[in-house]
Chains A and B, each alone.
Chain A
């Protein structure tokens, strides 16, 4: 199928399973638990979302049910359900304060406050694990693959800026 199948509030609805997981049904079928993926995760948070069946056993069988062009087209409850699912799938806490950065050769150990709470993580090889997203926005990936966003580097302390400016 080469055409884009947009999902709209008219042809289907998201609902929550009693266990808190997201599910989707349309006029024809109830798909049960689904996955909602961002097509442009670094650019759009609530636009261009791909809704797919989720099968852990057979990832190659996860088919696309359709695309949400703009989540805002759905009602508040539906938006909330989808956003909650997206927050679960994309866990990228925003760094609100850098307490310290300890540099040790290829490693840098960050102690920070984030939107998800206090965290300590290690980034190695900043050259490949620091991504400049433009507009002073930075994404760091730690040794385990966890991601952290600095929404505006001009708003964090100078010492931290000095450490990362080499890589920007």
Chain B
């Protein structure tokens, strides 16, 4: 049920239950405790929580009797559970549609319990999947509601976008019209050919020649126009797509990582490539054609009615019936081929899967089973393909028959008229040609809604991206502050999903030039913390201050320029070692780059390569080893002489010797800079000024290596576990030797 309706419906009952208490949160929910769908509404005030089902109060509790409230995510549903002094109780149960709102409700209630500052829930969520107006889910991967979006608005926007191509489109339209006129005139010539030459009692060679010459002329005109039209058309298409793609791509680069990651690379590529292409082909092939086809349809319809209105009616009357059946057949063909395509997909995936894992197949001796499985899938594809082809070969003639059914009626009636001498044979020929034209046009029009809808969706997806980019860019009022490198985290809370917090109330300070090691179990929130430092995401609650100013107030480019980052995956772009080192600081001189490489302990190995700094690293740097890639990425991070350095597990998956080299490199580059480092091997962090142990999104321990060892807490146990592991590995190695 749309939220607005639910709220009005129950507002009376709510106010009866809660009296004059101000409602801070209210939301519909859909399951009762027994797992049956209900119309429920849950409300929170400063004093109480209340639930109504079908208008009846089923729960009312004073918040001061509660210790804590949690939102539990189950399978296909979730619950809000309250902890009281001595027990736990279920507050409400709801399907997954409501989880985001109810996790906000849990936070709100906990804030009331803890007497923290509370705000009225504003009902807006970034990761909402439903239209706030009508409650229906958005179209996949968009925040576009198919019911509430203005479809014509999209067409208007496409039209506005195609400004630069408009003269070309008008030229195209004119050329289309000329070919249309030729199309209309040709059957008239046919009529004269039959009446004045072929069945005429006084045929002359001269007349025949004139008519044939005229036909040749028309054909030449059509050919020339088609060539010119294709040239203009390709020019127009490239213009529109180029403009649109450039616009999207440049805006995409400026958007937050949160949005980009949420959309997935494949989806964004689809928008840049396919959706723009679809918009272009709609404007050019469909919209312009539609204007032309409509013109032609009307012209031919008027001509047929003028020639013989009774025969014209014979064409039009069976049209809806024919189109109805054609449509049914078309749908069934689409469904059958959809199934065949799916089966083919399964077959292709099977092959890719097995070829990728061929070693596993061979090691476990499963070759014969794989052959059998493949044979079965291939057989089902073969059967389905045969069945579909048989179907298509049978129904296509039927479609043709249905589409030409009107012309049979025309032929019958026309034949009678010719025999009765009330119509000439030429007119009949002309009429049947027009009839077939009309059917063809009508069939084309029957596909129009589909093209229209597809273009609308594509343009919605494209415009959503453009609008979102505008919104994000507009929101920022950044200033170019000077950066020295002191960080303050004030109650920072963040989650990639609103109902699953990864960092909870992080409060800490980092001095300028301090090296901070972030430690914790995997999934504790270390990487998330540096994602916030790198400003890839922004805190949901609380602030990160840099030199006393909110990080969000800094000019993003300037801030990023003062940041040197070495990520867990040392991603190198396809290009040379030099271009990779210069990536973050294009103005760096060659000397700067060499110094950076030397500091990163990369210079010596680079010099061993025949092409030195001009060595081509291959796609993603695959021609280099993991340790080499990492050292180049360190050089890249420091070439710009950053004030703040972020290392994320920079020493993972390399051998001890390489690790020592990388550690030396780190030591070289971190002096005087504020450093946030996460290291796979805790020994790397021994030199850190301070270690922050994060556990379950909270700061659990803080101090130097020796302080934390004395404390004998999480850090000490992690280090111990790791050292034991290293000892075992060493022993194994020695045994092997």
- A→B interface (CB under 8 Å): 17-21, 32-33, 41, 54, 56-58, 60, 87-93, 104-107, 114, 116-119, 122, 124-125, 127, 142-147, 162, 165-167
Contacts and interface: CB of A to CB of B under 8 A. Distances in A.
B140 A146 contact: no
Interface in B325-366: 335, 338-339, 342, 345
B31 to A, nearest CB: 7
Contacts of B36: 116-117
- Is the contact region of chain A dominated by helix, strand, or loop, or is it mixed? loop
B90 A146 contact: no
Given A19-B89, A107-B137, A145 B76 contact: yes
A117 B37 contact: yes
A105 B453 contact: yes
B35 A57 contact: no
A163 to B, nearest CB: 8
A127 B342 contact: yes
Contact of B137 (A105, A122, A165, A167): A122
Interface of B: 31, 33, 35-38, 70-72, 74-77, 79, 81, 87-90, 93, 95-97, 99, 129, 136-137, 139-140, 146, 335, 338-339, 342, 345, 453-454, 457, 521, 523, 696
Contacts of B521: 60
A3 B177 CA distance: 82
B709 to A, nearest CB: 24
A166 B610 CA distance: 56
B74 A90 contact: yes
Contact of A90 (B76, B81, B339): B76
Given A20-B89, A144-B97, 11 more contacts: A17-B89, A20-B33, A88-B33, A88-B77, A91-B76, A106-B140, A116-B31, A118-B37, A122-B136, A147-B76, A166-B342
A162 B335 contact: yes
A91 B75 contact: yes
Nearest to A55: B70
Given A145-B76, A166-B338, A57 B70 contact: yes
Contact of B35 (A116, A118, A144, A167): A116
Contacts of A90: 74-76
Contacts of A17: 87-89
A91 to B, nearest CB: 4
Contact of B75 (A21, A58, A144, A147): A147
Contacts of B81: 21, 56
B88 A33 contact: yes
A20 B88 CA distance: 9
Contacts of B90: 19-21
Given A89-B74, A116-B37, A60 B87 contact: no
A93 B136 CA distance: 20
Contacts of A104: 146
Given A104-B146, A116-B36, A88 B339 contact: no
Contact of A41 (B75, B96, B339): B75
Contacts of A60: 521, 523, 696
8 contacts: A88-B77, A91-B75, A92-B76, A107-B137, A125-B140, A144-B95, A144-B97, A146-B96
B335 A166 contact: yes
Contact of B96 (A56, A114, A144): A144
Nearest to A87: B35
Nearest to B337: A166
A147 B76 CA distance: 5
Contacts of A162: 335
A110 to B, nearest CB: 12
Contacts of B342: 127, 166-167
A104 B140 CA distance: 11
Contacts of B696: 57-58, 60
A58 to B, nearest CB: 6
B218 to A, nearest CB: 41
Given A56-B81, A58-B696, A91 B95 contact: yes
A91 B139 contact: no
Nearest to B341: A166
A54 B37 CA distance: 26
Contacts of B74: 88-91
A19 B87 CA distance: 8
Contacts of A57: 70, 696
Contact of B93 (A88, A118, A124, A167): A88
B97 A56 contact: no
Contact of B37 (A88, A119, A143): A119
B648 to A, nearest CB: 21
Contacts of A21: 81, 87-90
A106 B139 contact: yes
Contacts of A18: 87
A162 B338 CA distance: 11
Closest 9 pairs between A and B when the two form their complex, measured CB to CB: A19-B89, A117-B37, A91-B77, A56-B70, A124-B140, A91-B76, A144-B96, A145-B96, A147-B76
A93 B95 CA distance: 11
Contacts of B79: 88
Contact of A143 (B129, B146, B339): B129
A139 B372 CA distance: 27
Contacts of A32: 88
Q: Residue among B74, B75, B99 with the most chain A CB within 10 A?
A: B75
